[in-house]
A and B are shown apart, each in its own frame.
Chain A
Amino acid sequence: MAMTMKGEVELPADRETVWAKLNDPEVLKVCIPGCQSLEKTADNEMQAVAKVKVGPVSATFKGKVTLSDIDPPNGYRISGEGQGGIAGFAKGGARVALTSADVGTKLSYDVEAQVGGKIAQLGSRMIDGVAKKMADQFFSNFAEAVSPSATAI
C-alpha cells in the first residue's frame, strides 16, 4: 500500500538548532506519536518501537531506523522498516530538507511509505488519514521541542 505525502512546516528556531534536534534520538522519541523506545545502535542507525493504530488494527512495530544522505544542516533522508507481527509490516522513508526562513527554519518533507498484511487489508482506506494525522502530530510536537521556550530534553 504505497502512500506518499508532502508538506512543509515553519519552525521557530534557527537551522542549526533544528538540525541538532532532528539528530537527537531523545527528541525524536518524544515527537514520534506512539514511540515507545528509540535507541541509537550505531552511527546513523536506531532501533525503534512504536505503537500505531490504523482503523481497527492496532500494532506494535519494531524496526530499524536509518539516516542517510546526511547533509548538515540542510537535511537528510530518514528511512525505516518495522514488523508489526500478525498486523503486517510498514516501511518507508522521508526526505527532510531545511531552509532558512523569516521566522526561523522551513522544514519540508516528502514521505513515501508502504504497509502490508492486515494493516493494509483492513486499514487501507484510513492509511492516508492516519499518516497525515501522525505527521501533523509529529511536527506540532517537534515545533514545540525546538521552540526557544522548550524545556531542555
Chain B
Amino acid sequence: MGATGIGAAIPRKEDHRFITGKGRYVDDINRPGQAYAYFLRSPHAHAKINRIDTSAAQNAPGVVEVYTGDDIAADKVGGLICGWLIHSKDGSPMNAGPHPALAQGKVRYVGDHVAVVIADTLAQARDAAEKIEVDYEVLPAVIDLANAQSGAQIHDVAPNNVVYDWHLGDKAATDKAFASAKHVTKLQLVNNRLVPNPMEPRAAVGEYEEGTDSLVLYTTSQNPHVARLVLSAFIGLAPEHKFRVIAPDVGGGFGSKIFIYAEETICVWAARKIRRPVKWNCDRTEAFLCDAHGRDHVTHAELATDAEGKITGLRVSTKANLGAYLSTFASSVPTYLYVPLLSGQYNIPAIYGEVMALYTNTAPVDAYRGAGRPEATFVIERIVEMAARELNMDPAEFRRKNFVTQFPHQTPVIMCYDTGDYDASLKKAQEIHDIAGFASRKAKSESQGKLRGLGYSAYIEACGIAPSAAVGSLGAGVGLWESAEVRVNPIGTVEILTGSHSHGQGHETTFAQLVSDRLGIPIDNVSIVHGDTDKVQMGMGTYGSRSGAVGMSAIFKALDKIEVKAKKVAAHVLEASEGDIEFKDGKFAVKGTDKNADWGTIALQAYIAHKFNGQELEPGLKESAFWDPTNFTFPAGVHICELEVDPATGSTTIEKWTAVDDFGNLINPMIVEGQVHGGIAQGVGQALLEGAIYNEDGQLITASFMDYCMPRAHDVPSYQVGMTTTPCPSNPLGIKGCGEAGAIASPPAVINALTNALGHENLQMPATPERVWKAAQGARLRMAAE
C-alpha cells in the first residue's frame, strides 16, 4: 500500500472545492437567455380537474408560456415510467397507472403537477401561477394503508388500489415449519415513511441547441445515463445521440435523485418549445411534497423456533405504500430488495414473504438509502430480539446460535451469501462495546431515575447491485453492470471516465486511490470524470452501494488492459520480449536485468509511436471495460445501541454506539467510516425523530423542517467503529460496499434498546418523546414500587 493507494485514509480530494464554495451544482449553471419554470401544484390529494383557465397567466408580465397536461399530450410526450416489472401471485403484471409529467384530468396527491409557467424571472412565473384558475372536483382521498383497498379508486387500471399482490418463498414448507414449531414469536410493526432531504434540492436546466437539433439537460441525478435513456427511449424527447445529460456536482441523493421526475422532463421539453433554456430549482417545501419518499410499510411477521432455540421458519406479510404513482424503481423496493433479505444473518430453512403494494393519494415512494433492506432488517432484527427475550435467551447468544457459518450459503429466498464471519463481528462488537459493563451502567442510570437499554442489530444487505441477467430474470428493465474508460495522457497523467456518479461518496478520491495504487503514480495525477453523457459513453450510476464493488471493478478491468498494452509498448522501448516485462511501483523492468523505464516514459512512447510499428501495435494508451458482477455482495455486521430514557419526559439519549462492519476490503477507511457515521445518523433519525405525516385529507403536515424532525449533532453519540474483513470473492478488489449499511443496521438497534429499557415491545417508530413517555409509564410505576 502506498501513501495514497488502496487502504490509505487520506482526506478527500474534492472537499477543498466543496468547503470553499467552489462546487458547481445545477443551480450554479445559468445559460444565456434562460427562462424560469414554476410548477403549479395540486392543493388537493385527489380531485378531478374539470377545467384549467390559463389565459390570465398567459397574459401576465414576463410570461413566455403556460403549459398543462393537454400540451404534453398534444406533443405526445411519454409518461414517466417504472422500470421494474413485478408480477402478482396469480401471474398478472402489476397495475401501473399512467404517470404524465403534467396532470391529465386528475390530480392524485398534494403537490401533483397541474401546470407549469415559464417566465423571464422566477418571481414573474410565481405571480402568474397565482392567476391560473383550476376548477377541481374534490374526490375522497386514500391515505392509510389500512383503508387503501376500500377507498376511492386512484387509477382506472388498479381495482382496490392494488399495484400488485406478490410473494416469494415456499409457503407450504414455511407453514409446515410453523405447524411443528415449539414457539412462535409474533410482531406487528410499522416502518415509518421518510422524506429523503438531501442537502441540495433537485434542480434542472433544459436547453435546446437549434443548430444541431439537440437537447442538453443539466440535472441533479445519481445516474445521468439512465435519465437520458428514459427521457429518450420512453418519454421520447430526443434520441440519445442528440441528447446530452449532465449531472455536475450533486449535493446528496440518498436514492431520491435516481428517479426521473416530471420537472426535468418538462424543463428540457419546454426548452425546445420556447427555443430558450428553462431552469427550475426546487424549493424545500416542493422537495418534501414531491421527492420520492421512502419506506412506509405495515408488516405482520412470525418467527418459528424449535425446542433448542433454533429458528425453523419465518413468515412475513407486508403492505407497502407506493404513493399516487409508480416512481422509477418503486416496484422493486418492497419486493426483490426486501423479501430476499429477510433471512438476515441466519440459517432459516423456510421463509415465505408476501407483499401487497398499494396506491394512495400521497407522494410516490421509492428507494431511499438502503431501499427494502432497512425494512427487511427491521423485521428480522426486531423479531429475533423479541424471540430471544420470549425464550429467555441472551439476544446475542440466540443470534449466534442461528448464524450462518458455512459459505456459500443459499437462503430459501434467492440470495446466495458468498462469504462472511458473522460471529467475528458480533464478538468484536461486544468487546468494543464493553458488554460486561452494561449491568453496572444500567444500575447507575437507575439510581438516577433513568432507564437504560441495550439493543443489537446484526444486519446483512445485498449490495454491489447487480448481476444483469439475474436482475433481468426478476423483472428489471435494465442491466446493472458498470463501465469505465482509462485515458492515459502522453505525460502519464490519467483520466478515469466512469459511469458511477459521485454525490457525496468521494469517488474522486477513492477511484484515484485505486489508480495511484495500480499504476504507481501520484493521486494528483489522476482525475475522475463522471456525470456527463457526452464524456462517459454509458453507465448505470450510483445507488445500492454499487460504485466500489461494480464501478471500481470496471476501472480495475480497464487498468488490466492498460497494463497489457503498456507492457507491449515497454517491450519495444526496452528492446525485450513482452513476456519479460514486469510492471511494479510505476516502473517497467526487464526481468533479470537492470533495464527499466518509468510510467511516464512508456506513456509518452505510446503516443510518439517511434519505437514500434504502428501497424503491429496501435499507438496510444486508452482502454475501456464493462464489468458485470457475478453476484450481489453481502456486507454484514453488528451494531449495538445503548441508550438512556428519562421516564419523566420520554426523552431518549443514545449513550453508546458500536458498529462493527465487514465491508470486505477497504479503499479509504476514513471515507468508509464517514459513510457508517452518516448512515447511523439517518437510521437514528428514522427510529427516533422522522416521520412524514399526511392528515386525513391528504395534506402533508410535515412539509418543512419546522414539523419534520431531522437528526442533529446532539441526537447522536460519538460512534465506536470497528471492522472485520472477509474479502468479497465476486469482484477483483474484494469490496462489498458501505454506503447504506449504517441506515440499514441502526433502526432496529435503537428500538431493540428502547424496548429493552422500557421492558415491553409495544413501541413504533419514530419513538418520539411522547410515544416513549407513554410507553415508559409502566416501567416508571415498576421502578417506584421497587
Contacts and interface: CB of A to CB of B under 8 A. Distances in A.
Contacts of B289: 121
Interface in A104-124: 114-118, 120-122, 124
Interface string A1-15: 110000000000000
B240 to A, nearest CB: 36
A121 B700 contact: yes
Nearest to A81: B138
Contacts of B700: 120-121
A85 interface: yes
A86 interface: yes
Contacts of A114: 697
Contacts of B158: none
A115 to B, nearest CB: 8
Contacts of A124: 695, 699, 701, 707
A7 B80 CA distance: 50
A121 B44 contact: no
A125 B706 CA distance: 9
Contacts of B696: 2
B130 interface: yes
B704 A122 contact: yes
A86 B697 contact: no
B513 to A, nearest CB: 44
A1 B701 contact: yes
A83 B129 CA distance: 13
B43 A88 contact: yes
Given A86-B40, A89-B43, A116-B44, A122 B706 contact: yes
Contacts, number: 58
Interface in A85-143: 85-86, 88-89, 114-118, 120-122, 124-125
B74 to A, nearest CB: 25
Range of interface residues on A (Cβ < 8 Å): 10 to 19
Contacts of A83: 133
Nearest to B700: A121
Nearest to A88: B43
Given A2-B697, A116-B44, A122 B703 contact: yes
Interface in B126-153: 126, 129-131, 133
Given A86-B130, A122-B285, A117 B43 contact: yes
B110 interface: yes
A1 B129 contact: no
A121 B704 CA distance: 7
Interface residues of B, number: 23
Residue among B43, B129, B696, B703 having the largest count of chain A Cβ atoms under 10 Å: B43
A1 B706 contact: no
A114 B706 CA distance: 21
Contacts of B706: 122, 125
Given A86-B40, A88-B43, A125-B707, A120 B699 contact: yes
**A1, A116, A121, A124, most chain B CB atoms within 10 A:** A121
B697 A117 contact: no
Contacts of B43: 88-89, 116-118, 120
A127 to B, nearest CB: 10
Contact of B699 (A85, A86, A116, A125): A116
B325 interface: no
A31 B449 CA distance: 54
Contacts of B44: 89, 116
Contact of A86 (B110, B129, B288, B703): B129
Interface in B33-67: 40-41, 43-44
Contact of A121 (B40, B126, B130, B699): B699
Interface string B102-114: 0000000010000
Interface in B686-721: 695-697, 699-701, 703-704, 706-707
B225 to A, nearest CB: 34
A120 B129 contact: no
A88 B288 CA distance: 16
B288 A121 contact: yes
Contacts of A125: 706-707
Nearest to A115: B699
Contacts of A1: 695, 697, 699, 701
A51 to B, nearest CB: 13
A8 B40 CA distance: 40
B50 to A, nearest CB: 14
Interface string B408-422: 000000000000000
A57 B368 CA distance: 30
Interface of A: 1-2, 83, 85-86, 88-89, 114-118, 120-122, 124-125
Interface of B: 40-41, 43-44, 110, 126, 129-131, 133, 285, 288-289, 695-697, 699-701, 703-704, 706-707
- What are the nearest 3 A-B pairs in CB distance? A117-B43, A121-B703, A85-B130
Given A117-B110, A118-B285, A125-B707, 5 more contacts: A117-B43, A120-B699, A120-B700, A120-B701, A120-B703
23 contacts: A1-B695, A1-B701, A2-B696, A85-B131, A89-B44, A115-B699, A116-B697, A117-B699, A118-B43, A118-B285, A120-B695, A120-B699, A120-B701, A120-B703, A121-B110, A121-B285, A121-B288, A121-B289, A122-B703, A122-B704, A124-B695, A124-B699, A124-B707
